[in-house]
Structure formats: structure tokens, C-alpha cells
Structure 1
Amino acid sequence: MIKRVVASIALSSLLLFSCNKKKEEKEEVSVYPVTTPVMMDTVIDKEFVAQIRSVKNIEVRAQEKGFLEKIYVDEGQYVHQGQVLFQIMPKLYQAELLKAQAEVAQATIELKNASTLANSNIVSKNERSMAKAKLDAANAEANLAQTHLSFTNIKAPFSGIINRLPLKLGSLVDEGDLLTSLSDNNEVYTYFNVSEPEYLNYQMHAADRGSNQISLVMANGDIYPQKGEVQTIEGEFDNETGNIAFRAKFPNPDKLLRNGETGKVRMTLPLKNAMIIPQKATYEIQDQKYVFVVGKDGVARSKNIKVAYELPDVYVVGSGLATGDRILLEGVQKVKDDQKVKVKAQDPKRVLQSLKLKAE
């Protein structure tokens, strides 16, 4: 009997100890660390969708009308400056040149005769002047005919790569018809649009960004090996998008980049007095970011925030928080909205130092 009483007391003690332990653990878990946002200067790497254009890219068009008699190049071929690309049937223009040259010869003879007669006072000096004017007009017509004939041979204005050939041999070409386009890809431009706040940060804090150099992320995700440099910014913002266009130039020694490609430029932008919080202090519902703000009454209330930029392990907050707000650092998946919690404050700077923050 005594043994049963002792065993019962021991069991009761064990259960009481177990309950007290669970209660202590529960109370210990219910104490959550909180911190506040940090206001600091930093830099971010922002990517912008970019269009790639050759520094030199032109349309090659016919300057005369006629049949396309010869095509000397192929699509994708590299050509040199001055190389003949196409020939439009020149016979008509050759005939016009011969006619003009004959008129020059006739006018030359007439001027010679008029000069001889004028020197002998047989005809007036005005007759010689008229003959001289006729020769000048004949020379002008001959030069014009020679120019028209030269236009039947279409040459490359600079070295580059031939693009698509829309016309075939024998096609009837009219003046101004497109024959191909020519691209010099030794250097390329990238055009990309920047928002007004980012433009202002870029312009007003030039010393903080270090240089105008930028990187290019190609369409396959690889980083282009050459660095580019921002050269110009357009003169006005687009009223519909609120953006302004930047232009950067990249060297292209291996001809890897071609006119018409797309990519993303990665540009370093300075941020002054940015509000930074740890990513682990947030949670997401339907693509919206939230934090728990703990008030003076100890009640945790969810608050929607707008994330302006994402850095390693931290967010730059665009709106939704005040500098003195106490945010729940851990336990965001356990705490419920309007739940009263016990908290322990942690130094926000030490919190950030424990993360992989690359800001200064």
C-alpha cells in the first residue's frame, strides 16, 4: 500500500515537472526579438531591359531605276568600305553619258571656232562667250550622266556585315528601293529607360557611384566580358511612362553582339538615406510583402510594405514603415495578427551586421 502511494506521488511529481517544463518552454518561445529599420546610404545594382544597336547601321537603297543585274555579296558576309555590292543595269546610263560626252566635244569645237573668229574680229566677243557657256553646260550634263552611271554600282560606304537581301537577280528596282542593310558591329549602343527617382539619384550622387561604367547581361544570362560606359541621356522624360532613355556604348572586338539583340544593363545606383530591414522580418501573401509591427501595447499588427529594392538578405523599403516602428524579427510565421506578444529589442545595426549586407 505504501509503495503504491509513493509511486503515485512520484508520478504526480513527474507530471507536474513535465507540465511546468512545457509551460516554461512555451513562455520562452513567446518572447520574440524585435528591431527597427535602419536608415543608411548604400548602393544597388539595378538591371534595365536594353536594346542593342550597332553604332553604324544603315539601309542600302537604290539611287537609280533599272533591273538588278548583279549581286556581288551574300547575307551575313563581311564587306569592306568601297566594295561593290550590287549593279543595276547600266546600259541606259552609259548611253546618256556617251551622248553628253559627244555634246561636250561639239561644244569644244564651237568654242574653238568662235575664239578664232573673235580674235580676227569676224564675230563679236559675245559669240565666244555664248560658245563658252554652251561648253560649260555640256560639261555639267556629262558630269551628271557620269554620276547617274556611277549610281548603278552600289558600294559599301563603310566596312560591315551585310544583312538580308530582299530582292533577287532580275528584279525591277525603283529609285529608293531597299537592297539590304549594313551593320558595323565594332562598337554597339545599348538603349535603356530609367525612372525619374533613379535618374535623380544617378545624376545627383555621381561621386557615390564611382564611374559611368556598366555591365551587360546577355539574353542567355551570361555577363558580357566587356564593360560599357554611359554616354548620353535624352533631353526629356516620356510623359506616359515617366522614364528617360540612357545610351551606353560597349566595345565589341569579337563581334559577339549584333544589331537588334536584347539584354539587360546592370548599373550601380547610389541610394541616400535608404530604409533597410532584414528579409527574414517579412512574409508574403499573394505577392504582397508584410511585416508585424509591435505597438507600445505589445500587440503585433500586420502591415503591408512596398519593397523598392532587394539586396542580399535585406530589403530597401519604399513605403509602409516609419523609422521608429518596432518590427518582429523572428516568428513571423507563428504570430497572428492582433496577437499580444512579449518582445525583446535588438540593436538594428548589430542585426544587419550579422547578415550578408554589402552596404556602407
Structure 2
Amino acid sequence: MKNIQFSLLSLLFVFASCEKKEEKAPVVMPYKVIKVTQSNTSLLAEYPATLEGVTDIDIRAKVDGYIEKIYVQEGQEVKKGQLLFKLETQTADQEASAAKAKVTAAQVEVNRLKPLVERDIISDVQLETAKANLASAKSTYQSIVARINYATIKSPVNGIVGTLPLRLGSYVSSQTTQPLTRISDVSTIYAYFSMNEKQQLDITMHAAGKTFQEKIAKMPPVNLILSNGTEYEKKGKIETFSGQANTQTGSFNVRASFANTNKLLRSGGSGTIQIPTNLENVILIPQNATLEMQDKRIVLSVDKDNKVIAKPVTVRAVPGGHFYVVDEGLKVNDIILIEGIGIISEGTKIKPEIVENPVKINPIPYENN
């Protein structure tokens, strides 16, 4: 009887030991993975920009006077030569009348002396003096007339009227700090922005052409994102880089131009310039195959033993928000997880299920694709 009980206890112990061993045995779960490949894509570098017209001309008074009339409104489109302001000229008009009378009197005196000189009744000196007085009177009169003409202020260019800070009756002069208004020619809008030396080299080195000017001429069109987040309907063109970097900031000033036939863009506005850079044979991975950990971007790679390894990577975002260009941290044919990111811990053994790389399925923006 005792032998039977011992056998049963031994059997139970064996079963219990087997159950414990089964519980301790790790379960290898399947997870989807992809094989790292190369592809072509375009990146967009973004730079804050300020917008200015082809010309922004401050309109100032050349003479002293009170504003008598204002012929335009803020934001109005004007043509070259169109009347903008008129200053009060009452005093100048009176001075002009008096000066004109002096011109007439001086002319009469010259006319009177001419025949007397011809008959040798008087000397040439008196006639020359009269002529000098006539020239002086004419000069004074013309100066006053010019002053009156300056009181009528016209637009020097086609453009848009800016703010009108001064009102009727305001006294202005050539020394007035604040301009009467500003006329902006916005048929073309210039977007001014800056970039550092590395950014300038990255952009120009990838552009076609031998000389720097050829590279600028062949650079791809750029986008303008307006302050409300929408993309401007027309593409722009980079026209100039500053000849040298700013010694204090190390940055280059850049100008891009945009056609503005509908006058939607105005001088003084702001936006963001997007410059595309085409990249060939670079490693692309889905953004959802990464996670951020302690200010680092991490991917989960699978080693030859099918164990998970966390790898830090250096990436740049591809427009569209779906993919990253990997600059450092991965090589072609590496296996990375696209499932269980943020759940699986490093060192976990998995059963990798290779699926089609999304880079091959989804179109990546690239000019030469």
C-alpha cells in the first residue's frame, strides 16, 4: 500500500514539474517586419520669409504745406503719374503772381534799353544789368512754380497704396519723419529669407550646373506657404544668394520671386519658403516603424537569432508624413519591425513575418520618378 502511495506522489510531482517547465518556456510570437531598401525621394526644407514688392517707395513731401486733398484710399491700386495728394499753395500762388510781375517788369526794362544801346545813347553795361535782373526774376518765378508743382504729389510707379497715417489739414514738410504713404509695386513679389552655410551647400551641391550661377538658374521651383497655412497657387524661383555669409550670424540672404498677377500677395506679408531637394538611393522607412525615446528616434531591428535590438537612427521627414529618410543607423537588407512598436522590449525573441515594404507600395514624391 505504501509503495502505491509513493508511486502516485512521484507521478504527481513529475506532472507538477512538467507544468512548471511549460509555464517557464517563452512563447515566441510572430510580428510583421520589413527588409530595408533604398529608393528615391524629395525632401522639403522650410525657411520663414518676409514678402516685399518689386519696389516699395515712401511718398514724402518735397515742400512745406498743409494737406489740402487726398485723392486715394488705403489699398487702392494706382497707375504711374496718378494724383495722390495736394498740398495747400495759397501763399506760393501769391508769391508766384508777384514774381511773374517782376519778370514782366524786367522784360519791359530790357526791351526799353535795347534800342538806346543800339543808338549809342547808353552803354552796354546798363542793358546787361537789365538782362541779369530779368534772368534773376525768371529764376525766382520758376522756383516758385516748381514749389507749387511739388505740392501736387503723384505716384512714381504702378502699385498699391499703403496706409495713410496723415489726414486732411496735417502739416508736412521735407523733414517730416513719417511718409504720406508707401506705394508698392506688387506685380512680382520677392520673398526674402536666410539659410546657414550647411543648408546653402546642401541645396546648391545637389543642383545641376557647373558654376554657382548655373546652379541657381537650374534649381527647381520653390513653394510659398502663406501665413494661413495654405500653399500659394504659383511656384517661385530662387534668383539670388548673398555674395558672402553674414559674419555675425553665418547665414546667407536669399531672394525668391513669385508672379502676383492677381495681387493676392502684399508687401510686408510673411510666409514660409519650401525648397525641394531630390535624393537618390537613400534608405526610406515608414514613420510608424519608429518611436521617440529620450530625444532620440529608435527603430527595432531583428538580429540573426531573431532577437529584437533597439537602434538609434538619424532621420529626415519626407513630405506627406508617412516616411523618413534614414541618414544614419540602418543599412540595406536590415530587418526592422513595423508591428508591436512600443510594446516589445529589447532582447525579446520573435518570429519575424516579412511583408512588403510600404516604400515600394506607396508613391514617394520625386521629380524623376
Listed as ranges, the matches of 1:119-268 within 5 Å are: 119-177=118-176, 178-207=179-208, 212-268=220-276
Query: Per-residue displacement from partner, 1:106-152 (whole Å, max 9, x unpaired)?
Result: 33233334433332334444544443333333322222111111111
The AA in structure 2 aligned to 1:181 is R
The answer (yes or no) to whether the contact 2:302–2:337 under 8 Å persists in 1 is no
The answer (yes or no) to whether the contact 1:55–1:184 under 8 Å persists in 2 is yes
Q: 1:128 to 1:37 in 2, by over 3 A?
A: farther
CA distance in 1, matches of 2:72, 2:99: 32
Residue 316 of structure 1: aligned partner: 325
Specify every segment of 5 or more residues in structure 2 that has no aligned partner in the other structure, as ranges. Answer: 1-14, 210-214
The answer (yes or no) to whether the contact 1:198–1:269 under 8 Å persists in 2 is no
TM-score relative to the length of structure 2: 0.75
CA distance in 2, matches of 1:271, 1:243: 24
Residue 64 of structure 1: aligned partner: 63
Matched, 1:353 2:354: no
Query: Per-residue displacement from partner, 1:240-280 (whole Å, max 9, x unpaired)?
Result: 54432322222222222222222223332234664544424
**Secondary structure of residue in 1 paired with 2:54:** strand
CA distance in 2, matches of 1:139, 1:268: 65
Candidates 303, 325, 345, aligned match of 1:336: 345
TM-score relative to the length of structure 1: 0.77
Q: 1:221 to 1:124 in 2, by over 3 A?
A: same
**Secondary structure of residue in 2 paired with 1:143:** helix
CA distance in 1, matches of 2:41, 2:193: 23
Same amino acid, percent of matched pairs: 30
1:282 CA displacement: 1.6
The AA in structure 2 aligned to 1:153 is T
The answer (yes or no) to whether the contact 1:32–1:341 under 8 Å persists in 2 is no
Q: Which moved more, 1:141-150 or 1:156-165?
A: 156-165
1:23 CA displacement: 6.6
* RMSD over aligned Cα atoms: 3.9
Query: Per-residue displacement from partner, 1:31-81 (whole Å, max 9, x unpaired)?
Result: 77474574x654223333222222232222222212222223333333333
CA distance in 2, matches of 1:358, 1:182: 41
Q: Which moved more, 1:259-268 or 1:126-135?
A: 126-135
**Secondary structure of residue in 1 paired with 2:147:** helix
**Secondary structure of residue in 2 paired with 1:317:** strand
Q: Which moved more, 1:214-223 or 1:292-301?
A: 292-301
